[in-house]
Structure 1
Amino acid sequence: MAIVDVRIDDRLIHGQVVGFWIPHFNVERIAIVDDVIVNDEARKTALKFGTPARSKLSIFSPEKAADKFIRKIDEGIRVLILCNRPKPILEMAKNGYVVNEITIGNMSTKDDAKQIKKTVFVSPEEKADFEELVNTYGVKVFSQMVPSEPREEITEDFKK
């Protein structure tokens, strides 16, 4: 399995992911990691509907995702891990699967959120999750909306 990117975008499967990121990385499988969506049949159906034919979609809880990625269940397949917030990535790390880096595309504004990039608004809880990923697990954090845009490292924003 080749994890081509670990991406946070609160829109999950949408135009930029389908139109830019999937072709850019030649993604064969999208793995959405989310403990809420995994139990929401309506959302799972909508996400499957939006998935392009060239890619398969899997939706896992963080615990199951960590287990599958540790066991390299998709060996030889180009996988994009997609989350709508940092918590599932942190939960994967706590379950033994630590990623090297995260790319943030879009995190919409919400109550008590602080804007750290043009399209990235981070709540106090999300900031704490990023801080734990950076400071405990050594994860690097980047911001990039589309492949043609420069990738900017923002890890320092989450160091204590």
Structure 2
Amino acid sequence: MAIVLARVDQRLVHGITVNDWNALLKPKRFMVIDDEISKDDMAKGAMRMSKPSGTGMSIISTETAIQNFKNGKYDDHKVFVLVKEPETLLELIQAGISIPEVNVGFVFPDDGRKAITGRVSLNEKEADDLKIIESKNINVSFQYRPTDEKISLEKALDKKF
């Protein structure tokens, strides 16, 4: 089955992802894909402590994720992918990894980003990356919690980029 949802959320593993999204998706594995955090043992340890009981957690680099997916390592898993920026998802897609849907949940309003929703700010490259992802027939929406209204990419970016 592999990826059930990919989420862009700069906080990665936190209460909303391990409670609300876990309850909806019921993944077998949480997968944080981040080149920097995959090398940070302290950050990885903290994230692993917060994972829901009965689920696995991988905290790996983009290249490792691509190789593991291509080798079929997660074929029998429901995987919830968490990344900090859309570029990581675009790299996976360009490597042939199937992503059924992208959810944008939380991106900090720093580094010259423009506010898109109450919890998401993007720069031009991030907006362009999401447009490219959607052009590949992958639905991109903005939704903090599963109970919140889903906002389409088109509506979220309207007159902003």
Query: TM range, normalised to the smaller chain?
Result: 0.7 to 0.9
- CA-based RMSD: 2.1
- The separation in 1 between residues aligned to 2:13 and 2:5, in whole angstroms, is 14
Once the two structures are superposed, what CA deviation does each residue of 1:24-61 show, in whole Å capped at 9, x if it has no partner? 11121001111111111121111112212221110121
Larger deviation, residues 125-134 vs 21-30: 125-134
Letter in 2 for 1:143: F
Q: Distance in 2 between matches of 1:63 and 1:143?
A: 26
Q: SS where residue 96 of structure 1 aligns?
A: coil
Map of 2:77 onto structure 1 = 77
Counterpart for residue 144 of structure 1: 143
Number of the residue aligned with 1:100? 100
**What's the CA shift for 1:4?**
1.8
- TM-score for both structures, normalised by structure 2: 0.86
> TM-score, normalized by length of structure 1?
0.87
Contact 1:100 1:140 in 2 (8 A): yes
Partner amino acid, structure 1, of 2:68 = K
* Conservation of the 8 A alpha-carbon contact between 1:9 and 1:105: yes
Unmatched segments (≥5 aa) in structure 2: none
Structure 1 residue 155, shift from structure 2 partner: 4.5
Gaps of 5+ in 1: none
Q: CA 1:39 to 1:155, structure 2 compared with 1: closer, same or farther past 3 Å? A: farther
Deviations 1:105-144 (A, max 9, x none): 1111112101111111002332232233234x34321111
The 4+ residue runs of structure 1 with deviation greater than 4 A are none
Q: Counterpart in 1 of 2:28?
A: 28
SS in 1 for 2:147: coil
| Count of matched residue positions in the alignment of Structure 1 and Structure 2 | 158
CA–CA separation in structure 1 for the residues paired with 2:151 and 2:57: 28
